[in-house]
């Protein structure tokens, strides 16, 4: 029953976020600040992880090619497919649930504990619009870092494949061009936009409605990470069934 | 003036406010006192419009809150200033940014007009040199003064303070109390202060309402509190040896 009540409260929260907008002059500054913290601040870690995951995918694929009948370009093909279809949009979003999601929950939760949200409401400010809307807008740039993650992941695969002696550069490049379906990129970006909305709103929900003190802020951050990941995984399944099934 | 008529508020099975009526006068420091758990904070949040009572009404200068449209309620909120127990300053903004925040949100003033107003208000609370500092860089007493400055920057008609001197040393607490009293008189504000600090009661208690178990148990002034025989009030107010002696001296002086 509590989960059902939470889903209802979440829906009401999302509706409130789009009501009674904050002045554009202030909102513009808030959006730029969130882009800096949520998007630009996540670029480094996602590039780092993508490079090495791409490299590992390439090595593992090469190590599992035991038959002479399997073409060598499979290493590039598998790396491309893994990075575009799943790793970049979904795995990166789970990482972002930990990095960005915990940050959002703890920052909003701390504002709740220290009565800063009460202060906004007493002034007549729509606290949900003021706090959550800029995060949603900023995270609409999330596909940009996912595109970078795709590129870097494939580059990591090429690097490990070629310099590790698992594939030639020509085979790898032939593999990443093989049977390329442009809709897979569209599918990936649609997923990314949905995950971006989840990443902005689910952690905000857990921070905004939390009760208690500093200990509860920590607990809310953990709960937020778990639920954001669960929602992303479920949304991933539904979207894959709808778009590719 | 704020008039409260028989308000009730419950949370689940817990009946917190059990029919409180009170009147808070303009230009006076009105104090709500009572033990922890007596319903002071819930009562104050009802006055702020953060909690909606299930029964009864609250009127602000004759206008019933429950009968106002959403837009009118929002406008009324902009006529209220609030000083929170923990100051509730925005961590990411400087002192000047915190004070300027309501002006940026609700007025169409130019940057220079807002800066002038912020300087006037910060000067009023003796904080003119701290405008570029962040809340974490200033003392608790200074944070309270910033909170007062932010609360009065929009020239509010109503000022609410929740435990304004909690966590402060006695000398700073008296400075904050007197500052609130001076501002109340200077700007003709209806001020409601939630406190359990007896020094505040004796210093600035022009009108005092004592809550016990969600009911108004007593009402009077700081002078009347010495004379009352209401057991609930005397048990609360004269729980310390110091105040017992003060009362004894007052009675002896009168005899």
CA-wise closest residue to A129 among A10, A16, A38: A16
> What distance, in Å, lies between the first and last C-alpha atoms of chain B?
37
Residue A41 domain flag = yes
* In a domain? residue A16: no
The pLDDT of residue A2: 81
In a domain, A114, yes or no: yes
Q: Do A57 and A87 form a contact (C-beta atoms < 8 A)?
A: yes
Count the domains in chain A: 1
**pTM here?**
0.86
Question: B16 and B214 in contact (C-beta within 8 Å)?
Answer: yes
Tell if the CB–CB gap between A23 and B105 is shorter than 8 Å: yes
CA angle B33, B37, B38 (to 5 degrees): 45
> What local confidence, expressed as pLDDT, does residue A111 receive?
94
Asked if A4 reaches chain B (Cβ–Cβ under 8 Å), the answer is no
| Mean pLDDT, residues B207-234 taken together | 86
Q: Chain B within 8 Å of A107 (Cβ-Cβ)? A: no
* A94 vs B171, residue with greater confidence: A94
- A126 neighbors A19 (Cβ within 8 angstroms): yes
pLDDT-derived band at B174 (thresholds 50, 70, 90) equals confident
A123 interface with B at CB cutoff 8 Å: yes
| Domains annotated on chain B, with CATH | 1-79+158-227 (3.40.50.300), 93-155 (no CATH)
Give the three-state DSSP class for B177.
helix
A10 lies in a domain?
A: no
Residue numbers of the domain that contains A236 = 22-244
The DSSP bridge pattern shows strands B80-83 and B158-162 to be parallel
Distances (CA, A) of B16 to B35, B71, B131, B211, B217: 13, 29, 40, 11, 14
Instruction: State how far the alpha carbon of B124 is from the alpha carbons of B79, B145, B202, in Å.
Output: 19, 10, 24
- Which residue out of A23, A121, A122 would a mutagenesis test of the B interface target, given it has the greatest number of B Cβ atoms within 10 Å? A122
Q: Quick check: B255 pLDDT over 90?
A: no
The strand order across the sheet containing B207-212 reads B80-83, B158-162, B190-194, B29-34, B207-212, B215-220
Average pLDDT, chain B: 87
* SS3 letters across A172-186: HHHHHHCCCCCHHHH
Worst-scoring range by mean pLDDT, A102-106, A166-170, B2-6, B172-176? Answer: B172-176
A7 within a domain of the structure (yes/no)? no
Q: For residue A3, what are the CA distances in angstroms to A6, A11, A201, A219, A234?
A: 5, 12, 16, 17, 15
Residues in chain B with CB shorter than 8 Å from the CB of A25 are 104
Q: Per residue of chain A (245 residues), give pLDDT as tens.
A: 788 998 999 999 999 999 888 889 899 999 999 999 999 999 999 999 999 999 999 999 999 888 888 888 999 999 999 999 999 999 999 999 999 999 999 999 999 999 999 999 888 889 999 999 999 999 999 999 999 999 999 999 999 999 999 999 999 999 999 999 999 999 999 999 999 999 999 999 999 999 888 899 999 999 999 999 999 999 999 999 999 98
Whether ipTM tops 0.85, in short, is no
Q: Which residues of chain A make contact with B105, given a CB cutoff of 8 A?
A: 22-23, 26, 123, 125
| A119 contact residues in B (CB cutoff 8 A) | 82, 84, 88, 90
Contacts A125 to B, Cβ<8 Å: 105
Interface check for B244 against chain A (CB to CB < 8 A): the answer is no
The model's pLDDT over B114-161, given as tens digits with 9 standing for 90+, comes to 999 999 989 888 888 888 999 999 988 889 889 999 998 988 999 999
With respect to residue A211, please indicate whether it lies within any of the assigned structural domains.
yes
């Amino acid at each position: 029953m509590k989960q059902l009540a939470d889903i209802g409260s979440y829906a009401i929260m999302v509706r409130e976020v789009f009501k009674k907008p904050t002045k554009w002059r202030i909102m513009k500054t808030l959006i730029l600040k969130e882009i800096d913290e949520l998007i630009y601040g996540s670029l480094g870690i996602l590039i780092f992880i993508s490079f090495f995951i791409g490299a590992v995918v390439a090595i593992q694929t090469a190590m599992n090619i035991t038959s002479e009948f399997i073409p060598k370009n499979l290493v590039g093909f598998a790396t491309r497919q893994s990075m575009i279809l799943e790793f970049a949009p979904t795995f990166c979003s789970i990482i972002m649930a930990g990095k960005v999601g915990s940050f959002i929950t703890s920052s909003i939760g701390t504002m709740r504990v220290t009565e800063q949200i009460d202060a906004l409401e007493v002034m007549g400010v729509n606290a949900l619009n003021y706090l959550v809307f800029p995060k949603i807008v900023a995270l609409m740039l999330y596909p940009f870092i996912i595109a970078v993650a795709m590129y870097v992941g494939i580059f990591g695969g090429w690097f490990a494949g070629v310099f590790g002696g698992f594939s030639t550069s020509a085979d790898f490049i032939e593999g990443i061009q093989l049977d390329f379906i442009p809709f897979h990129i569209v599918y990936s970006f649609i997923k990314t936009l949905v995950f971006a909305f989840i990443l902005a709103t689910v952690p905000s929900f857990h921070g905004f409605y939390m009760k208690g003190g500093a200990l509860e802020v920590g607990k809310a951050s953990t709960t937020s990470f778990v639920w954001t990941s669960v929602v992303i995984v479920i949304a991933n399944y539904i979207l894959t069934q709808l778009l590719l099934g | 003036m704020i008039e409260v008529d028989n308000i009730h508020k419950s949370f689940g099975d817990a009946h917190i406010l059990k029919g409180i009526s009170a009147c808070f006068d303009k230009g006076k420091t009105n104090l709500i006192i009572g033990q922890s758990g007596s319903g002071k904070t819930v009562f104050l949040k009802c006055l702020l419009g953060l909690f909606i009572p299930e029964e009864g009404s609250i009127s602000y200068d004759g206008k019933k809150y429950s009968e106002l449209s959403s837009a009118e309620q929002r406008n009324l909120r902009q006529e209220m200033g609030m000083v929170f127990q923990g100051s509730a300053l925005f961590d990411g903004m400087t002192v000047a940014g915190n004070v300027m925040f309501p002006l940026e949100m609700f007025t169409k003033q130019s940057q220079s007009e807002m800066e002038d107003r912020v300087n006037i208000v910060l000067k009023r609370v003796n904080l003119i040199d701290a405008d570029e500092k962040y809340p974490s860089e200033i003392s608790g007493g200074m944070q309270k003064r910033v909170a007062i400055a932010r609360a009065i920057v929009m020239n509010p008609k109503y000022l609410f303070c929740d435990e304004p001197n909690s966590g402060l040393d006695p000398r700073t607490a008296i400075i904050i109390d007197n500052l609130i009293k001076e501002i109340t008189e200077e700007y003709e504000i209806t001020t409601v202060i939630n406190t359990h600090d007896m020094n505040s009661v004796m210093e600035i208690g022009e009108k005092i309402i004592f809550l016990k178990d969600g009911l108004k148990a007593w009402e009077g002034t700081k002078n009347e509190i010495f004379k009352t025989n209401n057991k609930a009030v005397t048990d609360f107010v004269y729980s310390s040896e110091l105040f017992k002696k003060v009362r004894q001296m007052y009675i002896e002086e009168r005899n």
